[in-house]
Structure formats: C-alpha cells, structure tokens
Amino acid sequence: MLSVARVARYSTVGDMEDQAVHRARPSWTVPSELQDIRLDSFIRGCLPHLARREIERALRARLFVVGGKMGRKGDRLRAGDVVFFTGPEWWLAPHPMPDFGLQIPVVYEDGSILALNKPAGIPTHGFSARDTRTLANFLIARWPDLAQVGKSRWEPGLVHRLDTETSGLVLVAKTQAAFDRIKIQFQRGQIRKQYLALVWGETPAHGSIRLPLTHDPRDERRMRIVPADGVTKKGKSWPALTRFRTRGVAAGFSLLDVQMTSGVTHQIRVHLAAIGHPIVGDSLYGRERERAFGLERQFLHAS
C-alpha cells in the first residue's frame, strides 16, 4: 500500500478547468516508481481508509483533477503528475463525522463494552464520511476513541449490526481486546441473539428454520433462500438457523420470541417470510401495502 506520508502535499491549485478561485486543496504527487499507475489505484494507495466504491463514486463525480483535466479511473499517471482533490474536505475523513445532536439511549456501560438501544429508522453505520444520522456518528461524538476500535473505520467498536428498521440492543466494544473477544464469542455461537417479532398468521407453538441464505441476484437489497438447484450469486451462501417460540396468537397475528446464533443479513426476516409468516411492517419481504396497527416500521426488536 502506498504511504500517504510519502506523496501527500497541500498546495495551491492553479490553472484548473472550471476553477475560478485559487485556494489550498489536498494534492498528491506521483513518485517515479509509480510511473504508469492507474489513477484509481493511486488514489486507493493514498487514501487506504476509503472504500473502493467511494473512490469510484468520487471519480464519477469528477472530484479529482490531473493536469488541469478531470480524472477518470483508468487514466495512466506519469511521474511528477499532481492529483488534486476538488471535493469537500470532510469527504477525506478517516472515520464517521461526529453527530452531537443525535441521542441514543445507553442501556449499559463499563470499561469494556456498551449496550445501546437503537431506535428504528437509524442505520447502524454508513459507508463513507458523507453518511450521517447513524449510530456510528453518535458513537464517535460521545466516545471519540472508538475510531481506533474494530475492523472498519465506518463501524467504530461495532461487533454486530441491526437493520435500519429494526430496533433494540446493539453491543459496542470500547477496546480492541474486547472487540476481538466478543467477535470470537459470536463466531462460536456463545452469544445468542434474541428478538421479539410480530408476524402475519398463526404460528405453531415453536419451530426451527434451517435454510441457507444467499444474495438475491435480481435485487441487491434482498437476501433469499438458496434455491433447490444450489445455484447462488457468485457461488456464495451462508448456513442459517432460526428458532422461535410463540408467545401469543390473536386476530390473525402471532407474537414470537426469536433466537439465532448465526448472524446472516436479514436472516430472521427471510426465514419467517419463507414459512409464510412475514414480519408485520416488513416492506422488503412482507406485505408492503398493509400497515397493521398503524405501524410505520417493521415489528422486529432485538432484546
């Protein structure tokens, strides 16, 4: 990986097309050993904390300039070329921007972990510095040191996630040692995830759903059950087991206690929909047009 310290400079941009005002902007100079490198590869080396898709998005938005021309990802660079960044400075941030106005209830805190009660409608995290109003933005505002904890800069201390429209408990590690320990416990199934769900239809007293999941090739937002022929998108699938116990049944609905040890994306939502009992309010896997009890969100809560 190219070291930013070796190539990053701040200088005044001059003679740029569409640049009426000269002012200081971030820039990086191509060293001789990187002669003929592609622009997108050079930027990834200079800004390793940014996801590939964010860099590609910035290039499509024409936020990088080389030799007075807007750069394209396949452009080849020469030694001595200067790459200027013309977008907002916050875009280069190595972690989520703090959101001091967002308030998330803290259920538990000690020296190693946090437990937060995430409201429905709040994403657990974003994917770039542009994303705001997420749990990650709240965490950075209140505990800035969390920027150094975890596997991804956009997920400070987060050892797991909840869907945006799912409410409930989210665990956060305050130290890297705690993060590594909790992740191992999740992988070994030593931490059980328990949820409360309201579903359509009358469910049996209890049940288990063991169906592997894969990405839906027709809709990148969705997961689906691995088809009978076993063909999956890019050959990827994940085993998944969901158990439920029915608390009560009334008026064509069932209230369930749901447990899972695996943590596949949308697992509970897909599994319950697969057995004919989609979660009430789930517009992606359930009955999109029906909003029972005036709910404006899916009735799934991590407890």
Judge if 206 and 273 occupy the same domain.
Answer: yes
Do residue 182 and residue 209 come from a single domain?
Answer: no
Same domain, 197 and 297: yes
Which residues are 84's β-sheet partners? 27, 65
b/e sequence 120-150, b meaning 16+ C-beta within 10 Å: bebbbbbbbbeeeebbbbbbbbbbeebbebb
Query: Averaged over 122-147, what is the pLDDT?
Result: 89
Residue 268 and residue 93: Cα distance in Å, rounded? Answer: 34
Mean pLDDT of 191-199: 94
Q: pTM here? A: 0.72
**CATH number of the structural domain spanning residue 246:** 3.30.2350.10
Q: What is the pLDDT of residues 234-285, one digit of tens each?
A: 668 899 999 999 999 999 999 999 999 778 999 999 999 999 999 999 989 9
Q: Mean pLDDT for the chain?
A: 86
Whether 37 is in a domain gets the answer: yes
One domain for residues 112 and 86: no
Judged by average pLDDT, the poorest of 6-15, 118-127, 147-156 is 6-15
Please give the pLDDT value at position 21.
36
Residue ending a domain, among 134, 163, 187, is: 187
Of the candidate ranges 43-57, 137-151, 174-188, 267-281, the one whose mean pLDDT is the lowest: 43-57
Whole-angstrom Cα distance, residue 37 to residue 66? Answer: 13
What is residue 54's predicted lDDT score, i.e. its pLDDT?
Answer: 79
Q: How many whole angstroms separate alpha carbon 98 and alpha carbon 147?
A: 10
Q: Which of 127, 154, 187 represents a domain boundary (last residue)? A: 187
Angle between helices 39-46 and 52-60 (to 10 degrees): 130
- Check whether residue 291 and residue 208 sit in a common domain: yes
Please state the rounded mean pLDDT for residues 118-129: 87
Give pLDDT, residue 20. 35
For the ranges 56-70, 106-120, 222-236, 258-272, the lowest mean pLDDT is seen at 222-236
253 with 158, same domain? no
Residue range 61-87: mean pLDDT, rounded: 93
Range of the domain at 147: 106-187
The percentage of residues in the chain with a pLDDT greater than 70, rounded to a whole number, is 87
Q: Are residues 117 and 68 in the same domain?
A: no
Within-domain flag for 97: no
**One domain, residues 202 and 281:** yes
In a domain, 100, yes or no: no
137 in the same domain as 39: no
pLDDT tens track for 210-242: 999 999 988 888 999 998 777 666 668 899 999
Catalytic residue flag (residue 18): no
Query: What is the tally of structural domains in the chain?
Result: 3
Q: Which of 40, 99, 163, 282 is catalytic?
A: 163
Query: Which one of 187, 217, 245 terminates a domain?
Result: 187
Query: Could you tell me the pLDDT band of residue 289, with boundaries at 50, 70 and 90?
Result: low
Distance between CA atoms of residues 163 and 122, nearest Å: 9
